[in-house]
Chains A and B, each alone.
Chain A
């Protein structure tokens, strides 16, 4: 008996070398990618080195990152949300039009919009559980429903494709101070979205790796049936994740509204894919159960740097999407390779 199983005892499997441990962090690919993109544009694009442009890059990254974080968590939990892009616009339109239509304090609109955004998330989760359809289909439906509502309701209420300006509504100043303030530090102009992004990243990263809910998210995405069998409330966990996407969409929607004072109905369409790209570049597995919040934020940073770096380098920005597509496939291949290396003994 002992001879047959001697190789299972002490000492057979040596502790993994340090590089293998390093490679086992899901975000490692995104970190290397971010450094590479940074070095590239530092070398080829002189305006990229200017300090005031750093603020622009960080702003761009933060508006993507604020959504990439919840989308990454949801993806780790095994689901997609294609409605994440238009939900931002829905939240912004709802807040402005509720306040404008009924002449309410703008904060009432803001809070009702939060209820609506959380409700959309809950509805996505509920529909997923009830229909047992893939979340790709369920949220594709929600995506089109919201896109239609954004246009139709805005035309009905405001008579155009732009939401009414809300600058002279009660409570505007305080709401703008909360959602759209900014500061300058020595020539570096920073928007409050950077703070939102950092806080969301830290909170979500801690939740995923150090809280019980994180264990539940990983398990719900990794193997839902097993998770249920040992008592993990997988359905509630997933609905919660959809609602977290809703919350972040609301937060970004409020920033958009109070930063630009009016919202176009067609904003946000297509952004859901950029959030997913950031999450995947950050090491999230498309099938769930594996990934990193910090990685998704790095993915958003890569997007921000690339988006503006191409312009700063004087390249034709028409190629941006092509570049993103190549990066997505490349990052996925690299992440798969890295994960395989890390899993090797």
Chain B
């Protein structure tokens, strides 16, 4: 794993990025009734950078995604998109602002062919709704190739692709249709080591293409391979925020695993199984 951990390019000026901040969260919080799901979140999503959001189940990751994706509005602080204070009313508005979300399970129709999925909802068509099949296949193929995914037969159902390739098709689609920022909801959670590699490679390509990537995961190893900055959430608050230069994988893993809690758990388990 360590040999593969090539450091992501930090840009020519060594980390101090000149890229534009697309989304900035300032003390953002969200309460559902009297349940405070998220509080005091500060986060920058910049073009050409991968921002990793880590956290255990229930840490507030999905609430954070939903705020940026336009599914929920926030109740505290403010969210700036392209420098403007923004409240999204619907996912459609977030999409129009260039923020696309790729959900782990909610992406593609498995029995439909690759090219049909790629253009689903945004089909190229002529008069009477006639699909421009050849053109769509050609675009889908070149867009996927650009990102290093080669699918020889685009008529294959998406369900016949590997899990990693499926995620990549969903991401490539979001990028092609004008996303400036892509939010990836645990894209590697259900994948094996190799398939995760496919997706991680793809994330790097998307970053190098100038997109802002928000990579939600609970795997610190995956995050450390591609991330420029890291935010660890715990119980709805930021427990760690660091740039790549200021943190090691061990620190990140320790923070994720919960440090003291893990030690306590270890003792407990030892008592159970002497």
Interface residues of A (CB under 8 A from B): 1, 4-5, 7-10, 13-16, 24, 210-215, 218-219, 222-223, 225-227, 229-232, 285, 289-290, 343, 345
In Å, the complex CA distance between A113 and B72 comes to 46
In Å, the complex CA distance between A226 and B106 comes to 5
User: Is A222 within 8 A of B109, CB to CB?
Assistant: yes
User: Is B121 within 8 A of A227, CB to CB?
Assistant: yes
User: What total count of A-B pairs have CB within 8 Å?
Assistant: 99
**In angstroms, how far is the closest chain A Cβ from the Cβ of B200?**
8
Query: Which residues of A have CB within 8 Å of B110?
Result: 222-223, 289
Query: Which residues of A have CB within 8 Å of B201?
Result: 1, 5
Nearest A residue (CB) for B158: A222
**In angstroms, how far is the closest chain B Cβ from the Cβ of A116?**
28
In Å, the complex CA distance between A219 and B156 comes to 15
24 sample A-B contacts, Cβ–Cβ < 8 Å, listed by A number: A5-B197, A5-B198, A7-B194, A8-B162, A8-B164, A9-B148, A9-B150, A10-B150, A24-B155, A210-B130, A211-B131, A212-B125, A212-B131, A215-B112, A218-B116, A219-B109, A219-B112, A222-B109, A226-B107, A227-B121, A229-B106, A232-B120, A232-B121, A289-B111
User: Is A285 within 8 A of B111, CB to CB?
Assistant: yes
User: Is A223 within 8 A of B108, CB to CB?
Assistant: yes
In Å, the complex CA distance between A88 and B179 comes to 49
Number of interface residues, chain B, beta carbon within 8 A: 43
Query: Which residues of A have CB within 8 Å of B217?
Result: none
**In angstroms, how far is the closest chain B Cβ from the Cβ of A166?**
37
Nearest B residue (CB) for A229: B106
Interface residues of B (CB under 8 A from A): 4, 6, 91-92, 103, 106-112, 116, 119-123, 125, 128-131, 133, 148-153, 155-157, 159-160, 162, 164-165, 193-194, 197-198, 201
| Given A230-B122, A343-B159, A289:B150 Cβ within 8 A | no
| Given A5-B197, A8-B150, A8-B198, A229:B111 Cβ within 8 A | no
**In angstroms, how far is the closest chain A Cβ from the Cβ of B220?**
18
User: Is A211 within 8 A of B129, CB to CB?
Assistant: yes
In Å, the complex CA distance between A10 and B201 comes to 16
| Given A9-B148, A343-B159, A4:B111 Cβ within 8 A | no
User: Is A4 within 8 A of B194, CB to CB?
Assistant: yes
Nearest A residue (CB) for B193: A4
In Å, the complex CA distance between A213 and B125 comes to 11
Query: Which residues of B have CB within 8 Å of A1?
Result: 4, 6, 197, 201
- For B112, give its contact among A10, A212, A218 (CB under 8 Å): A218
Nearest A residue (CB) for B123: A212
Other A-B contacts than A222-B110, A227-B109, A343-B160, 9 sampled, CB-CB below 8 A, are A5-B197, A9-B148, A9-B150, A13-B151, A210-B131, A211-B131, A229-B106, A230-B121, A231-B92
